Chains A and B, each alone.
Chain A
Amino acid sequence: MAENQESAATVVAASDIEVDHAGLDASINEFAGPGGDYYSKNFQRIHSSTGFLPNTFNWVAAILGPVWAAARGIWGMFWGFLILEMIAWVQIGRGWWGDPGASFFERAEKQRERAAEFLQRAEAARLEGADPARFEKLAENINNAAEKSEALGAAASSEAFAILLGGILTLLAFKAVQGFYANSIYEKQYSSWRVDHKSVESGRKLKNIILSVVLVILIAPLTVYKFTVDSPLEVLNAFPERQVSAIFLDSDKATLFTELAGWLEQKIDAAAIAGAGGFDSITAGVRSVLDALSLALIGTPWPVVMLVICVVAWRAAGPRVAIFTAASLAYIALLGYWEISMETVALVGAAVFICVVIGIPLGIWFGKSRRAYNAAEPVLDLMQTLPAFVYLIPIIAFFGTGNPPGILATIIFGMPPVIRLTSLGVRGVPEPIKEAAVAFGASRFQLLRDVEVPLALPSIMTGVNQTILMCLSMVVIISLIGGGGLGKVILEALQYAAKGPGLLGGFAILFVAMVIDRIVQGAFRREDQK
Chain B
Amino acid sequence: MTETVVKVSNVWKVFGERSAEAIKAIMDEGIGKPQVLERYGCVVGVQDATFEVPRGEIFCIMGLSGSGKSTLVRHINRLIEPTSGTIELLGRDVSKLNQKDLRAMRANHIGMVFQHMALMPHRSVRDNVAYPLEIRGVNKSKRWAVSDHALQLVDLVGYEDRLPKELSGGMQQRVGIARALASDPEVLLMDEPFSALDPLIRMQLQDQFKALVAELKKTTLFITHDLDEAIRIGHRIAIMKDGIIVQIGTPEDIVMNPSDDYVREFVQGISKLKLVKAHSILEPLESYEGSLDGAPRADEGADLDQLINHAVGTDLPVVITSDGRDIGVVTKPRLLRGIQGGKE
Q: Please report the C-alpha to C-alpha distance between residue A438 and residue B108 in the assembled complex, in whole angstroms.
A: 13
With A432-B114, A433-B120, A455-B122 known as contacts, the answer to whether A446 contacts B242 (CB < 8 A) is no
B106 at the interface (CB under 8 A from A): yes
Q: Are B79 and A439 in contact (CB under 8 A)?
A: yes
Within A294-318, the residues touching B (CB, 8 Å) are: none
A496 at the interface (CB under 8 A from B): no
B103 at the interface (CB under 8 A from A): yes
Q: Are B135 and A435 in contact (CB under 8 A)?
A: no
Query: Nearest chain-B residue to A446 (Cβ)?
Result: B135
Query: Nearest chain-B residue to A453 (Cβ)?
Result: B122
- Measured between beta carbons, the chain A residues less than 8 angstroms from B136 are 441
User: A99 to chain B: closest CB distance in Å?
Assistant: 63
Partner of A455, one of B108, B121, B134: B121
With A439-B79, A440-B106 known as contacts, the answer to whether A432 contacts B118 (CB < 8 A) is yes
Query: Nearest chain-A residue to B128 (Cβ)?
Result: A436
Q: Please report the C-alpha to C-alpha distance between residue A439 and residue B241 in the assembled complex, in whole angstroms.
A: 26
Q: Please report the C-alpha to C-alpha distance between residue A87 and residue B186 in the assembled complex, in whole angstroms.
A: 77
Partner of A440, one of B34, B119, B132, B242: B132
- Measured between beta carbons, the chain B residues less than 8 angstroms from A439 are 77, 79, 106, 110, 112, 114, 189
- Measured between beta carbons, the chain A residues less than 8 angstroms from B112 are 436, 439-440
Q: Please report the C-alpha to C-alpha distance between residue A435 and residue B179 in the assembled complex, in whole angstroms.
A: 14
Q: Are B131 and A450 in contact (CB under 8 A)?
A: yes
Question: What are the interface flags for A428-471 relative to B under an 8 Å C-beta threshold, 1 for contact and 0 otherwise?
Answer: 00101101111111110010001100110100000000000000
Query: Looking at chain A, what size class is its interface with the partner chain?
Result: 20 to 34
Q: Are B122 and A454 in contact (CB under 8 A)?
A: yes
- Measured between beta carbons, the chain A residues less than 8 angstroms from B114 are 432, 435-436, 439
Question: What are the interface flags for A79-120 relative to B under an 8 Å C-beta threshold, 1 for contact and 0 otherwise?
Answer: 000000000000000000000000000000000000000000
A1 at the interface (CB under 8 A from B): yes
Question: What are the interface flags for B98-113 relative to A under an 8 Å C-beta threshold, 1 for contact and 0 otherwise?
Answer: 0000011111101110
- Measured between beta carbons, the chain A residues less than 8 angstroms from B132 are 440-441
User: B292 to chain A: closest CB distance in Å?
Assistant: 47
B183 at the interface (CB under 8 A from A): yes
Query: Nearest chain-B residue to A5 (Cβ)?
Result: B265
With A1-B242, A435-B114 known as contacts, the answer to whether A441 contacts B135 (CB < 8 A) is yes
Q: Are B106 and A441 in contact (CB under 8 A)?
A: yes
- Measured between beta carbons, the chain B residues less than 8 angstroms from A435 are 79, 114, 118
User: B189 to chain A: closest CB distance in Å?
Assistant: 8
B64 at the interface (CB under 8 A from A): yes
Query: Nearest chain-A residue to B136 (Cβ)?
Result: A441
User: B39 to chain A: closest CB distance in Å?
Assistant: 14
- Measured between beta carbons, the chain A residues less than 8 angstroms from B92 are none
- Measured between beta carbons, the chain B residues less than 8 angstroms from A438 are 79, 106
Within B229-261, the residues touching A (CB, 8 Å) are: 241-242
B18 at the interface (CB under 8 A from A): no
Q: Please report the C-alpha to C-alpha distance between residue A443 and residue B121 in the assembled complex, in whole angstroms.
A: 19
Q: Are A441 and B79 in contact (CB under 8 A)?
A: no
Q: Please report the C-alpha to C-alpha distance between residue A441 and residue B187 in the assembled complex, in whole angstroms.
A: 14
Q: Please report the C-alpha to C-alpha distance between residue A437 and residue B117 in the assembled complex, in whole angstroms.
A: 12
- Measured between beta carbons, the chain A residues less than 8 angstroms from B116 are 432
Query: Looking at chain B, what size class is its interface with the partner chain?
Result: 20 to 34
User: A27 to chain B: closest CB distance in Å?
Assistant: 13
With A432-B116, A435-B118, A455-B121 known as contacts, the answer to whether A441 contacts B104 (CB < 8 A) is yes
Q: Please report the C-alpha to C-alpha distance between residue A507 and residue B189 in the assembled complex, in whole angstroms.
A: 64
Within A1-49, the residues touching B (CB, 8 Å) are: 1-2
- Measured between beta carbons, the chain B residues less than 8 angstroms from A430 are 118
- Measured between beta carbons, the chain B residues less than 8 angstroms from A455 are 120-122
Question: What are the interface flags for A55-93 relative to B under an 8 Å C-beta threshold, 1 for contact and 0 otherwise?
Answer: 000000000000000000000000000000000000000
Query: Nearest chain-A residue to B104 (Cβ)?
Result: A441
User: B166 to chain A: closest CB distance in Å?
Assistant: 14
Q: Are B118 and A440 in contact (CB under 8 A)?
A: no
- Measured between beta carbons, the chain A residues less than 8 angstroms from B134 are 450
Query: Nearest chain-A residue to B180 (Cβ)?
Result: A440
- Measured between beta carbons, the chain A residues less than 8 angstroms from B79 are 435, 438-439
User: A159 to chain B: closest CB distance in Å?
Assistant: 63
- Measured between beta carbons, the chain A residues less than 8 angstroms from B135 are 437, 440-442, 446
Q: Please report the C-alpha to C-alpha distance between residue A457 and residue B135 in the assembled complex, in whole angstroms.
A: 21
User: A289 to chain B: closest CB distance in Å?
Assistant: 31
- Measured between beta carbons, the chain A residues less than 8 angstroms from B103 are 441-443
Q: Are B120 and A440 in contact (CB under 8 A)?
A: no
User: A453 to chain B: closest CB distance in Å?
Assistant: 10
Within B204-250, the residues touching A (CB, 8 Å) are: 241-242
Query: Nearest chain-A residue to B122 (Cβ)?
Result: A454
- Measured between beta carbons, the chain B residues less than 8 angstroms from A451 are 120
- Measured between beta carbons, the chain B residues less than 8 angstroms from A442 are 103, 135
- Measured between beta carbons, the chain A residues less than 8 angstroms from B119 are 433, 436
User: A324 to chain B: closest CB distance in Å?
Assistant: 32
Query: Nearest chain-B residue to A439 (Cβ)?
Result: B112
Query: Nearest chain-A residue to B134 (Cβ)?
Result: A450
Q: Please report the C-alpha to C-alpha distance between residue A430 and residue B117 in the assembled complex, in whole angstroms.
A: 12
Question: What are the interface flags for A412-440 relative to B under an 8 Å C-beta threshold, 1 for contact and 0 otherwise?
Answer: 00000000000000000010110111111
- Measured between beta carbons, the chain A residues less than 8 angstroms from B107 are 440-441
Q: Please report the C-alpha to C-alpha distance between residue A438 and residue B103 in the assembled complex, in whole angstroms.
A: 8
Q: Please report the C-alpha to C-alpha distance between residue A436 and residue B175 in the assembled complex, in whole angstroms.
A: 13
Query: Nearest chain-B residue to A435 (Cβ)?
Result: B79
Q: Are A437 and B131 in contact (CB under 8 A)?
A: yes
Q: Please report the C-alpha to C-alpha distance between residue A440 and residue B108 in the assembled complex, in whole angstroms.
A: 8
Q: Please report the C-alpha to C-alpha distance between residue A440 and residue B103 in the assembled complex, in whole angstroms.
A: 8
Query: Nearest chain-A residue to B106 (Cβ)?
Result: A441
User: B158 to chain A: closest CB distance in Å?
Assistant: 22
Q: Please report the C-alpha to C-alpha distance between residue A349 and residue B164 in the assembled complex, in whole angstroms.
A: 37
- Measured between beta carbons, the chain B residues less than 8 angstroms from A443 are 103
User: B113 to chain A: closest CB distance in Å?
Assistant: 9
Partner of B183, one of A432, A433, A440: A440
Partner of B118, one of A433, A441, A446, A450: A433
Q: Are B121 and A436 in contact (CB under 8 A)?
A: no
- Measured between beta carbons, the chain A residues less than 8 angstroms from B108 are 441
- Measured between beta carbons, the chain B residues less than 8 angstroms from A450 are 120, 131, 134
Q: Please report the C-alpha to C-alpha distance between residue A1 and residue B108 in the assembled complex, in whole angstroms.
A: 39
Query: Nearest chain-A residue to B111 (Cβ)?
Result: A440
Q: List 28 A-B contacts (CB under 8 A).
A: A1-B241, A430-B118, A433-B121, A435-B79, A435-B114, A435-B118, A436-B112, A436-B118, A436-B119, A437-B131, A438-B79, A439-B106, A439-B110, A439-B114, A440-B107, A440-B112, A440-B132, A441-B105, A441-B107, A441-B132, A441-B136, A442-B103, A446-B135, A450-B120, A450-B131, A450-B134, A454-B122, A455-B121
With A437-B131, A440-B135, A455-B121 already in contact, 6 other A-B pairs whose C-beta atoms are closer than 8 Å: A2-B34, A430-B118, A441-B104, A441-B105, A455-B120, A457-B122
Chain A interfacial positions (CB closer than 8 Å to B): 1-2, 430, 432-433, 435-443, 446, 450-451, 454-455, 457
The 4 closest A-B pairs by CB, nearest first: A441-B107, A441-B106, A436-B118, A432-B118
